[in-house]
Structure 1
Amino acid sequence: MGKISYYTEEGLNRLKAELNDLKTKGRSDMSRQIAEARDKGDLSENAEYDAAKDAQGLLEMKISKMEEIVSNARLLDESSIDASLVSVLSTVKIKNRKNGATMTYTLVSEEEADLKLGKISVGSPIGKGLLGKKVGDTTEIKVPAGTLEFEVLEIGR
Protein backbone atom coordinates (compact mmCIF):
# COMPACT_ATOMS: atom_id res chain seq x y z
CA MET A 1 0.00 0.00 0.00
CA GLY A 2 1.23 3.48 -0.84
CA LYS A 3 1.86 6.36 1.48
CA ILE A 4 -1.19 8.35 2.59
CA SER A 5 -0.89 12.05 1.68
CA TYR A 6 -3.15 14.88 2.77
CA TYR A 7 -4.30 17.53 0.31
CA THR A 8 -6.27 20.71 0.17
CA GLU A 9 -9.42 20.51 -1.92
CA GLU A 10 -7.71 22.60 -4.62
CA GLY A 11 -4.64 20.36 -4.67
CA LEU A 12 -6.66 17.14 -4.85
CA ASN A 13 -8.85 18.52 -7.65
CA ARG A 14 -5.72 19.53 -9.60
CA LEU A 15 -4.31 15.98 -9.23
CA LYS A 16 -7.56 14.40 -10.40
CA ALA A 17 -7.76 16.77 -13.39
CA GLU A 18 -4.17 15.95 -14.39
CA LEU A 19 -4.89 12.22 -14.14
CA ASN A 20 -8.05 12.59 -16.22
CA ASP A 21 -6.13 14.59 -18.85
CA LEU A 22 -3.45 11.88 -19.07
CA LYS A 23 -6.06 9.14 -19.42
CA THR A 24 -8.09 10.89 -22.11
CA LYS A 25 -6.03 13.37 -24.12
CA GLY A 26 -2.67 11.72 -23.39
CA ARG A 27 -3.81 8.25 -24.45
CA SER A 28 -5.58 9.47 -27.58
CA ASP A 29 -2.50 11.48 -28.65
CA MET A 30 -0.32 8.43 -28.06
CA SER A 31 -2.63 6.19 -30.11
CA ARG A 32 -2.51 8.69 -32.97
CA GLN A 33 1.32 8.81 -32.87
CA ILE A 34 1.54 5.00 -32.93
CA ALA A 35 -0.92 4.80 -35.84
CA GLU A 36 1.05 7.41 -37.81
CA ALA A 37 4.31 5.55 -37.19
CA ARG A 38 2.71 2.21 -38.15
CA ASP A 39 1.58 3.70 -41.46
CA LYS A 40 5.20 4.44 -42.40
CA GLY A 41 5.96 0.84 -43.27
CA ASP A 42 7.95 -2.12 -41.96
CA LEU A 43 7.63 -2.20 -38.16
CA SER A 44 10.86 -4.16 -37.66
CA GLU A 45 12.95 -1.22 -38.88
CA ASN A 46 10.66 1.65 -37.87
CA ALA A 47 12.39 3.80 -35.23
CA GLU A 48 9.39 6.15 -34.96
CA TYR A 49 7.14 3.21 -34.10
CA ASP A 50 9.59 1.96 -31.43
CA ALA A 51 9.86 5.46 -29.95
CA ALA A 52 6.08 5.87 -29.89
CA LYS A 53 5.65 2.48 -28.16
CA ASP A 54 8.31 3.46 -25.57
CA ALA A 55 6.55 6.77 -24.98
CA GLN A 56 3.27 4.89 -24.54
CA GLY A 57 4.88 2.71 -21.87
CA LEU A 58 6.14 5.80 -20.03
CA LEU A 59 2.69 7.40 -20.23
CA GLU A 60 1.03 4.28 -18.81
CA MET A 61 3.62 4.18 -16.01
CA LYS A 62 2.89 7.82 -15.16
CA ILE A 63 -0.87 7.15 -15.19
CA SER A 64 -0.37 4.18 -12.87
CA LYS A 65 1.70 6.26 -10.46
CA MET A 66 -0.88 9.09 -10.51
CA GLU A 67 -3.71 6.60 -9.86
CA GLU A 68 -1.84 5.31 -6.82
CA ILE A 69 -1.27 8.85 -5.51
CA VAL A 70 -4.95 9.76 -5.99
CA SER A 71 -6.13 6.52 -4.36
CA ASN A 72 -3.96 7.26 -1.30
CA ALA A 73 -4.89 10.94 -1.16
CA ARG A 74 -7.03 12.21 1.69
CA LEU A 75 -8.82 15.53 1.88
CA LEU A 76 -7.66 17.50 4.88
CA ASP A 77 -10.40 18.67 7.24
CA GLU A 78 -9.08 22.03 8.38
CA SER A 79 -11.67 22.34 11.17
CA SER A 80 -10.16 19.38 13.05
CA ILE A 81 -6.61 20.77 13.10
CA ASP A 82 -5.18 22.34 16.27
CA ALA A 83 -4.36 25.89 15.16
CA SER A 84 -1.90 26.44 18.03
CA LEU A 85 0.55 23.88 16.61
CA VAL A 86 2.35 23.82 13.28
CA SER A 87 0.78 21.15 11.06
CA VAL A 88 -0.14 20.53 7.43
CA LEU A 89 -1.71 23.67 5.90
CA SER A 90 -0.30 25.91 8.64
CA THR A 91 1.12 29.20 7.48
CA VAL A 92 4.15 29.76 9.66
CA LYS A 93 6.23 32.89 10.11
CA ILE A 94 9.71 31.95 11.29
CA LYS A 95 12.84 33.90 12.16
CA ASN A 96 16.36 32.71 11.47
CA ARG A 97 18.07 33.21 14.84
CA LYS A 98 21.50 33.61 13.25
CA ASN A 99 20.84 36.40 10.73
CA GLY A 100 17.45 37.72 11.90
CA ALA A 101 15.73 37.06 8.55
CA THR A 102 12.02 36.25 8.71
CA MET A 103 10.23 33.97 6.28
CA THR A 104 6.65 32.83 5.90
CA TYR A 105 5.84 29.36 4.60
CA THR A 106 2.73 27.27 4.20
CA LEU A 107 3.26 23.56 4.88
CA VAL A 108 1.66 21.35 2.23
CA SER A 109 1.98 17.84 0.76
CA GLU A 110 4.97 17.04 -1.46
CA GLU A 111 2.96 17.28 -4.67
CA GLU A 112 1.61 20.74 -3.78
CA ALA A 113 4.97 22.21 -2.72
CA ASP A 114 6.10 25.30 -4.66
CA LEU A 115 8.80 27.43 -3.07
CA LYS A 116 8.03 30.38 -5.37
CA LEU A 117 4.56 30.51 -3.82
CA GLY A 118 5.90 30.02 -0.28
CA LYS A 119 4.58 26.44 -0.07
CA ILE A 120 7.03 23.89 1.36
CA SER A 121 6.57 20.18 1.80
CA VAL A 122 5.95 18.72 5.25
CA GLY A 123 8.56 16.14 4.19
CA SER A 124 11.28 18.75 3.62
CA PRO A 125 13.88 19.29 6.37
CA ILE A 126 12.36 22.65 7.38
CA GLY A 127 8.81 21.26 7.19
CA LYS A 128 9.70 18.28 9.38
CA GLY A 129 11.52 20.51 11.85
CA LEU A 130 8.54 22.84 12.24
CA LEU A 131 5.79 20.22 12.66
CA GLY A 132 4.29 20.24 16.15
CA LYS A 133 5.95 23.50 17.24
CA LYS A 134 4.10 26.36 18.99
CA VAL A 135 4.56 30.14 18.81
CA GLY A 136 7.76 31.04 20.68
CA ASP A 137 9.37 27.59 20.19
CA THR A 138 12.83 27.39 18.67
CA THR A 139 14.06 24.48 16.62
CA GLU A 140 17.37 23.45 15.10
CA ILE A 141 16.95 22.09 11.60
CA LYS A 142 19.61 20.26 9.62
CA VAL A 143 19.69 21.45 6.04
CA PRO A 144 22.24 20.71 3.31
CA ALA A 145 24.09 23.95 4.17
CA GLY A 146 24.41 23.00 7.86
CA THR A 147 22.24 23.48 10.92
CA LEU A 148 19.88 26.45 11.16
CA GLU A 149 18.02 27.65 14.24
CA PHE A 150 14.54 29.06 13.75
CA GLU A 151 12.04 30.65 16.10
CA VAL A 152 8.31 30.29 15.39
CA LEU A 153 6.80 33.79 15.40
CA GLU A 154 3.26 33.18 14.12
CA ILE A 155 1.03 30.29 13.14
CA GLY A 156 -1.99 30.84 10.92
CA ARG A 157 -4.33 29.10 8.52
Structure 2
Amino acid sequence: IKVARGFGDLSENSEYDEAKNEQGKLYSRIAELEEILQHVVIVDESNAPTNVVTIGCRVVVADASGREMPAYKIVGSQEADPMHGIISEESPFGRALLGTKEGDTVTVEAPRGAIVYTVKKIER
Protein backbone atom coordinates (compact mmCIF):
# COMPACT_ATOMS: atom_id res chain seq x y z
CA ILE A 1 0.00 0.00 0.00
CA LYS A 2 2.86 2.33 0.86
CA VAL A 3 4.47 1.78 -2.56
CA ALA A 4 1.12 2.17 -4.35
CA ARG A 5 0.50 5.53 -2.61
CA GLY A 6 3.67 6.83 -4.23
CA PHE A 7 2.16 6.41 -7.70
CA GLY A 8 0.07 9.56 -7.36
CA ASP A 9 -3.57 10.54 -6.93
CA LEU A 10 -5.37 7.83 -4.91
CA SER A 11 -8.70 8.37 -6.71
CA GLU A 12 -7.21 7.11 -10.00
CA ASN A 13 -4.58 4.75 -8.61
CA SER A 14 -5.45 1.16 -9.58
CA GLU A 15 -2.34 -0.20 -7.83
CA TYR A 16 -3.54 1.34 -4.56
CA ASP A 17 -7.06 -0.06 -5.03
CA GLU A 18 -5.67 -3.53 -5.72
CA ALA A 19 -3.35 -3.36 -2.68
CA LYS A 20 -6.29 -2.34 -0.46
CA ASN A 21 -8.40 -5.23 -1.84
CA GLU A 22 -5.57 -7.67 -1.16
CA GLN A 23 -5.17 -6.30 2.36
CA GLY A 24 -8.90 -6.84 2.97
CA LYS A 25 -8.65 -10.45 1.81
CA LEU A 26 -5.67 -11.05 4.11
CA TYR A 27 -7.46 -9.54 7.12
CA SER A 28 -10.49 -11.70 6.36
CA ARG A 29 -8.36 -14.86 6.19
CA ILE A 30 -6.60 -13.94 9.45
CA ALA A 31 -9.99 -13.52 11.17
CA GLU A 32 -11.13 -16.89 9.78
CA LEU A 33 -8.00 -18.64 11.09
CA GLU A 34 -8.35 -16.99 14.50
CA GLU A 35 -11.95 -18.23 14.69
CA ILE A 36 -10.83 -21.77 13.84
CA LEU A 37 -8.10 -21.68 16.48
CA GLN A 38 -10.52 -20.45 19.15
CA HIS A 39 -12.73 -23.52 18.64
CA VAL A 40 -10.11 -26.19 18.04
CA VAL A 41 -10.53 -29.49 19.86
CA ILE A 42 -7.56 -31.83 20.21
CA VAL A 43 -8.52 -35.49 19.96
CA ASP A 44 -6.45 -37.85 22.11
CA GLU A 45 -6.35 -41.06 20.08
CA SER A 46 -4.37 -42.98 22.72
CA ASN A 47 -7.53 -43.61 24.80
CA ALA A 48 -9.86 -44.28 21.87
CA PRO A 49 -11.22 -47.79 21.42
CA THR A 50 -9.58 -49.71 18.58
CA ASN A 51 -12.67 -51.67 17.54
CA VAL A 52 -14.99 -48.68 16.96
CA VAL A 53 -14.86 -46.06 14.21
CA THR A 54 -13.86 -42.70 15.71
CA ILE A 55 -12.12 -39.59 14.42
CA GLY A 56 -8.61 -40.54 13.31
CA CYS A 57 -9.48 -44.08 12.15
CA ARG A 58 -8.88 -45.54 8.73
CA VAL A 59 -11.90 -47.53 7.61
CA VAL A 60 -12.28 -50.04 4.80
CA VAL A 61 -15.86 -50.63 3.66
CA ALA A 62 -17.52 -52.81 1.05
CA ASP A 63 -20.58 -51.91 -1.00
CA ALA A 64 -23.71 -54.07 -1.20
CA SER A 65 -22.14 -56.28 -3.89
CA GLY A 66 -19.17 -57.02 -1.60
CA ARG A 67 -16.66 -54.91 -3.56
CA GLU A 68 -14.17 -53.30 -1.17
CA MET A 69 -13.64 -49.58 -1.46
CA PRO A 70 -10.33 -47.79 -0.81
CA ALA A 71 -9.57 -47.00 2.84
CA TYR A 72 -11.05 -43.77 4.17
CA LYS A 73 -9.66 -41.74 7.05
CA ILE A 74 -12.20 -40.00 9.28
CA VAL A 75 -11.07 -36.50 10.35
CA GLY A 76 -12.45 -33.15 11.49
CA SER A 77 -14.06 -30.88 8.92
CA GLN A 78 -11.02 -28.59 8.60
CA GLU A 79 -8.78 -31.49 7.55
CA ALA A 80 -11.11 -33.16 5.05
CA ASP A 81 -9.85 -33.91 1.54
CA PRO A 82 -12.35 -36.26 -0.13
CA MET A 83 -10.27 -36.58 -3.31
CA HIS A 84 -7.57 -38.30 -1.23
CA GLY A 85 -9.85 -40.48 0.92
CA ILE A 86 -9.86 -38.14 3.92
CA ILE A 87 -13.49 -37.76 4.97
CA SER A 88 -15.03 -35.30 7.43
CA GLU A 89 -16.90 -36.68 10.41
CA GLU A 90 -19.62 -34.16 9.52
CA SER A 91 -20.19 -35.57 6.03
CA PRO A 92 -23.08 -38.01 5.55
CA PHE A 93 -20.60 -40.86 4.98
CA GLY A 94 -18.45 -39.96 7.99
CA ARG A 95 -21.48 -39.46 10.22
CA ALA A 96 -22.87 -42.88 9.24
CA LEU A 97 -19.56 -44.61 10.00
CA LEU A 98 -18.88 -43.05 13.43
CA GLY A 99 -19.51 -45.52 16.24
CA THR A 100 -19.69 -48.60 14.02
CA LYS A 101 -17.69 -51.82 14.44
CA GLU A 102 -16.27 -54.32 11.96
CA GLY A 103 -19.11 -56.23 10.33
CA ASP A 104 -21.70 -53.49 10.93
CA THR A 105 -23.83 -52.31 8.04
CA VAL A 106 -24.48 -48.60 7.49
CA THR A 107 -26.81 -46.75 5.18
CA VAL A 108 -25.58 -43.49 3.69
CA GLU A 109 -28.06 -41.04 2.20
CA ALA A 110 -26.67 -39.85 -1.14
CA PRO A 111 -28.19 -37.68 -3.87
CA ARG A 112 -28.99 -40.76 -5.94
CA GLY A 113 -30.55 -42.56 -2.96
CA ALA A 114 -29.52 -44.67 0.01
CA ILE A 115 -26.29 -46.67 -0.33
CA VAL A 116 -25.51 -49.59 1.97
CA TYR A 117 -21.94 -50.32 3.10
CA THR A 118 -20.44 -52.96 5.38
CA VAL A 119 -17.49 -52.03 7.61
CA LYS A 120 -14.69 -54.49 6.79
CA LYS A 121 -11.69 -53.17 8.70
CA ILE A 122 -10.86 -50.45 11.22
CA GLU A 123 -7.26 -49.26 11.66
CA ARG A 124 -5.64 -46.74 13.97
TM-score calculated relative to the size of structure 1: 0.73
The residue number in structure 1 matching 2:24 is 57
How is 1:60-79 mapped onto 2 (pairs within 5 angstroms)? 60-79=27-46
CA-to-aligned-CA distance 1:58-93 (integer Å, 9 cap, x gap): 110110110110121122111121222111001111
From 90, 93, 98, give the equivalent of 1:126: 93
The residue number in structure 2 matching 1:15 is none
How is 1:69-108 mapped onto 2 (pairs within 5 angstroms)? 69-98=36-65, 100-108=67-75
Task: Return 46-55 or 62-71, whichever deviates more.
Answer: 46-55
Structure 1 stretches of 5 or more lacking a match? 1-33
Percent of matched pairs sharing the same residue:
40
Structure 2 stretches of 5 or more lacking a match? none
More helix by share: 1
TM-score calculated relative to the size of structure 2: 0.91
- Paired residues, number: 124
Secondary structure, aligned partner of 1:102: coil
Distance in 2, matches of 1:126 and 1:82, equals: 20
CA-to-aligned-CA distance 1:93-136 (integer Å, 9 cap, x gap): 10011462423101011221123432111111110110111111
Secondary structure, aligned partner of 1:73: coil
RMSD: 1.5
The residue number in structure 1 matching 2:114 is 147
> Residues 149 and 125 (structure 1 numbering): CA distance in 2 closer, same or farther, change over 3 Å?
same
- Matching residue's letter, 2:94: G
